[in-house]
Amino acid sequence: MQLALFIIFGLLAVAGAVNFLLQRHPINSALSLVVVMMSLAVLYWSLGAEFLAAAQVIVYSGAIMVLFVFVVMLLNAGEEERTHGSRAAYIAGFPGAAAIFCLLSFVFLTNGKAFGSTDLTSHLTHAVNNIAEISQVLFKDLLLPFEVTSILILVAILGAVVLARKEQ
Amino acid sequence: MAPNVLALLPEYILTITGVLVMLADPLFPDEKARKPLGWLAILGTVAAGLASWYQLRFGVLHAFYGTIQVDSFSVFFHLLIAAVALVTLLSSLDYFEGHANVAGEYFALVLFGATGMMLMTCSVELLMVFVGLEISSISTYIMAGFRKGKAPASEASIKYFLLGSFATAFFLYGIALAFGATGSTRIDAIAQGLATTSAPTLAFLSLALIIIGIGFKVSAAPFQVWTPDVYQGAPAPVVGLMSTAPKAAAFAVLLRILFSGFPAYEHRWAALIWIIAALSMFVGNLGALMQRDVKRMLAYSSIAHAGYLLVAYTAFPADGIASACFYTAAYAAMNVGAFTAITIIGGYNERARTIDDYAGLALKRPALAAALGLFLISLIGIPFTGGFFGKFYVFSAALHSGNVWLAVIGLLNSGIACFYYLRLLAALYAKPAQQNEHATYSPVTVPAAIALTFTAVATVLLGIAPNRILGLAQRSASVTTNQSSPLQPSAGTVSSTGTH
């Protein structure tokens, strides 16, 4: 069951990502990004991370994608005009990417054992359920990083104000 | 005072001042200069520094379920960051010339950035370090592009933002893998988890990713490519800030992670740091030799100094940490001083860019030229300046630990570095070039003069009486090493090198 889910939604995520790159109209790209996000959410859910799956749907597929689509609409972005780009990128890009992919797969497949495996279930033994455990971490152990993130967002807002300001 | 308040007192003060600056900014008429807000920010920074000093009497403070640990190590870096922020604010008060009505956000960003850096140095939880790192980075990205309508400034900001975000992703992935291998993101728990982990390679991979992320932030080679362009385009006072304070915070984080979190893998990461240190010294110094633009030259010089500093990491813990702390302080004093001088000379529109533009400065502004000369002498590492003792402690710590070759490379590089620093120094006292004879320099204002005096006095004091700061540095070192592994060899302290 899990394997079937993984294969279906894994392929769907990859297909969505490829389509995202190939589409020339920004709206089509944005919509294929939704497919990627949703497939990833299903993968998270199949791994037992229900909270992460829900957050993925709400934050990425919901908030961020709506923002993307709005920006595309507001800018009235038309079909993409392709530039030729650099010749070196065309010639070296595909073989280079393929070579790095092959090298990495080779290393991981041959030395997979050396990386060892970890089992994180031991850290979840006290958990009543997933959500309860997450709220324990978020509002107790990691309360300060959670709160301080508000300063981070404040700085980002300040940055947006500075960037949007007109120079006299 | 509740422990949660006391332990984060400096951060609270800085944040509240920053918010006050933001709230007060719209109360000013549109075209009016925001100088009073600058003074408010300065007041907040001084108060944060004093609060940090006050924390020293409580020994080790823990807060927020063990996320925060305030000890003499964090206080050392808190004071350093507060001092750098103070100098930056003082030198930027009159920097904006015709654009002073938009400076309110700038002052707030300096304060928030300093908050992030301070959080990085007092946190023993990697996720907290990450949030602090992001706060400090995002504030500096924005400040780097503050001179709007200037192409190099936009280039600096965008480049810094893209590469910096990339680096932070490395750091975050490293944290995730560390959690995978050891089951915790808390530095002391990682050290314990390493002993029993079934995935040692994964743990080392996580450390390597963390080193890459921090390597970007401290502009160590081979992660240094952004440095020259960003330093050239960013406003001079911002370069003074971002070449010292965020770097000091990142170095402090690296010290904690390496010596308290991963002491068990010392034989492996020491080799990595060795390579990065040697490469940074060569890339920095050889790159600086070819520069005519003063800010680019100092950018390469800062890469080289990151290399010198990393030499200390390969030494025995007690020696290494103390000398690294001392070097950070000495480097901050002289580098921020040099950029304060450049701020005053160049102004908002950067009237002086290349070395030729500095020719004959001593005839017109003898005091300013003397101060800049002092910082350059200290950057070379000539005795009776902070730079000399910084290098002395670092290299002797390396020698004590048997790292002869790295010390030799460092000394060789100090020799190379003489050339380019002396070229600028000679230009200051040379006959002015034709086009420079009628160059006008804006008057040195009182706050800028205070900033310059403060950094000059600090540079000289670190060179004449280094013992006080060194004592503080050694106290910090003892905090960072006492909770770590049985692998540590017994190490002599730096004081045994005969400086007392």
Comparing CB atoms, the residue among B113, B141, B199 nearest residue A116 is B199
At B323-379, the pLDDT tens digits run 999 999 999 999 999 999 999 998 888 888 888 888 888 888 889 999 999 999 999
A153 occurs within a structural domain: yes
Comparing CB atoms, the residue among A116, A163, A165 nearest residue B201 is A116
Within an 8 Å CB–CB cutoff, is residue A117 touching chain B?
Answer: yes
Q: Token pair 């280079």 is at which residue?
A: A96
Residue B498 in this model has a pLDDT that exceeds 80: no
Q: What is the CATH number of the domain that holds A48?
A: 1.20.120.1200
What is the C-alpha separation between B375 and A119, in angstroms, rounded?
54
**How far does the CA of residue A121 sit from the closest CA of chain B (Å)?**
10
Chain B environment of A135 (Cβ under 8 Å)? none
- Give the DSSP per-residue string, B128-164: HHHHHHHHHHHHHHHHHT-STT-HHHHHHHHHHHHHH
Q: Which of A55, A78, A101 is the last residue of a domain?
A: A78
Is the ipTM, as predicted for this complex, more than 0.95? no
A119 occurs within a structural domain: no
Whether residues A68 and A5 fall in one domain = yes
**How far does the CA of residue B55 sit from the closest CA of chain A (Å)?**
19
Comparing CB atoms, the residue among A117, A123, A140 nearest residue B199 is A117
**How far does the CA of residue A138 sit from the closest CA of chain B (Å)?**
11
Comparing CB atoms, the residue among B128, B181, B201 nearest residue A144 is B128
Please report the pLDDT score of residue B143 as a whole number.
93
Residue B495 in this model has a pLDDT that exceeds 80: no
> What DSSP state is assigned to residue A58?
I
A113 occurs within a structural domain: no
Range of the domain at A51: 1-78
Token pair in block for residue B32: 């009016």
At B460-490, the pLDDT tens digits run 999 998 888 888 888 888 877 654 333 333 3
Question: Which residue on chain A is closest to B101 by alpha carbon?
Answer: A168
Query: What letter represents residue B330's amino acid?
Result: A
Chain B environment of A161 (Cβ under 8 Å)? 105
Please report the pLDDT score of residue B361 as a whole number.
87
With beta carbons less than 8 A apart as the criterion, state whether B278 and B168 touch.
no
At B146-183, the pLDDT tens digits run 888 788 888 899 999 999 999 999 999 999 999 988 88
Whether residues A74 and A131 fall in one domain = no
Element (H, E) at B223: none
A8 occurs within a structural domain: yes
User: Average pLDDT over chain B, rounded to whole?
Assistant: 89
Query: What letter represents residue B108's amino acid?
Result: A
Chain B environment of A138 (Cβ under 8 Å)? none
Question: How many independent structural domains does chain A possess?
Answer: 2
Question: Which residue on chain A is closest to B143 by alpha carbon?
Answer: A159
At B2-54, the pLDDT tens digits run 888 999 999 999 999 999 999 999 998 888 888 899 999 999 999 999 999 99
Q: Between chains, do B205 and A115 touch, taking CB under 8 Å as contact?
A: yes
> What DSSP state is assigned to residue B61?
E
B145 phi and psi angles, rounded to 5 deg: -100, 25
With beta carbons less than 8 A apart as the criterion, state whether B467 and B493 touch.
no
Please report the pLDDT score of residue B390 as a whole number.
93
- Percent helix, percent strand, percent coil in chain B, to nearest 5: 75, 0, 20
Most B-contacting residue of A104, A115, A117, A137 (CB-CB within 10 A), to test interface: A115
Partnered with residue B293 across adjacent β-strands are B354
pLDDT category at B491 given cuts 50, 70, 90 is very low
A89 occurs within a structural domain: no
Within an 8 Å CB–CB cutoff, is residue B15 touching chain A?
Answer: yes
A74 occurs within a structural domain: yes
Within an 8 Å CB–CB cutoff, is residue B340 touching chain A?
Answer: no
Comparing CB atoms, the residue among B15, B115, B201 nearest residue A115 is B201
Share of chain B above pLDDT 90, in %: 69
Q: Between chains, do B130 and A145 touch, taking CB under 8 Å as contact?
A: yes
Within an 8 Å CB–CB cutoff, is residue A161 touching chain B?
Answer: yes
Q: Between chains, do B108 and A158 touch, taking CB under 8 Å as contact?
A: yes
Token pair in block for residue B473: 């540095």
Q: Between chains, do B145 and A167 touch, taking CB under 8 Å as contact?
A: no
Within an 8 Å CB–CB cutoff, is residue A162 touching chain B?
Answer: yes
Q: What is the pLDDT along chain A (168 residues), one digit of tens a residue?
A: 788 999 999 999 999 999 998 888 888 888 899 999 999 999 998 887 888 899 999 998 888 888 888 888 888 777 767 676 677 777 888 888 899 999 988 888 887 777 666 666 666 555 557 778 888 888 888 999 999 999 999 999 999 988 888 765
Whether residues A63 and A6 fall in one domain = yes
Q: State mean pLDDT over B422-443.
A: 78
Please report the pLDDT score of residue A84 as a whole number.
67
> What DSSP state is assigned to residue B186?
B
Whether residues A2 and A67 fall in one domain = yes
Within an 8 Å CB–CB cutoff, is residue B490 touching chain A?
Answer: no
Within an 8 Å CB–CB cutoff, is residue A47 touching chain B?
Answer: no
Please report the pLDDT score of residue B34 as a whole number.
87
A121 occurs within a structural domain: no
Chain A to chain B, count of Cβ pairs less than 8 Å apart?
100
What is the C-alpha separation between B200 and B485, in angstroms, rounded?
16
Token pair in block for residue B445: 């204002």
Whether residues A74 and A14 fall in one domain = yes
Partnered with residue B69 across adjacent β-strands are B62
Q: Is the dihedral of CA B6, B7, B11, B15 positive or negative?
A: negative
Q: Between chains, do A115 and B134 touch, taking CB under 8 Å as contact?
A: no
In chain B, where are the structural domains located?
Answer: 3-497
A88 occurs within a structural domain: no
What is the C-alpha separation between A54 and A41, in angstroms, rounded?
7
